[in-house]
Amino acid sequence: MESIRGKVVLLTGASRGLGPFVAEALAGAGADLALVARSAAGLQEVAARLAAHGGRVAVIPADLAREPQRAEVVHRTVAELGPVDVLVNNAGVENEGAFLLQRREEIREMVEVNLVAPLELAQLVLPAMVERRRGQIVNIASVAGKAPLPWGAVYAASKAALAHWARSLRLELAGSGIEISTIYPGYVRRAGMFARFGLEPPPTIGAVEPEAVAAAVLRALTGRRRELIVSARPLRPALALAELFPGAGEWLMHRLGAVEFQRRKARG
């Protein structure tokens, strides 16, 4: 097991949702953190809670949907904490609804934040990692990248693309000392995009706690785990079927109530 004590971790989406839980886990393991999100006030609150762990924390407000701000995030992280050892691509946008009714601005925002920003941040931090022959990128994807997500088609597409980019990049960088990991959370209680709906998924689908996702990030970092699914057990057969037998996977999504549940969420 590797230690992340003293390593510089750039964490996006750090002000709300899963971000504060991931930040707490990383700080508890001794990492120095660059916290990135749009909300300066939210980042300051998270930073204040992390002070008890004694590590260094840099607060970097930025809108990752805007290309110029991505380079500034990396520049400020290096200036305040030093070279980036770990990039955690956690920031995400989920604008749910029927695809035919979604505005193009909503679609572009999801693709920019969920996919383009992680790729560009990786391009910015990887050269120094490759030169030092050490570093790691952890992507927070979603089980939506493995199974259909009706009324969330663009979100699912962005997460699937992120996961496949990670798999491809891992092969490109084999032998370089760089690790690429992907976390696939399912429905998460209390925090994250799903929690804002205030709905409890049916028992046939289930949900997990945000601490479980944070723990998976730590396992990926300390155990060099390439992919980790963090979902309730009832959903896992659908994930496997969706990848191996798409028709059977879609049938099981109906049987589990996942399709109807997504319809309810989209209707608010």
Q: Mind telling me the catalytic residues?
A: 155
Count CB neighbours of 154 within 10 A: 22
Q: Which residue carries 């999100």 as its tokens?
A: 37
Phi/psi at 10 (5° precision): -95, 115
- Token couple for 210: 């945000």
What does DSSP assign to residue 217?
H
Cβ proximity of 181 and 228 under 8 Å: yes
Nearest to 183 by CA among 248, 119, 137: 137
Burial state string for 191-204 with b = 16 or more CB within 10 A and e = fewer than 16 = bbbbbeeeeebeee
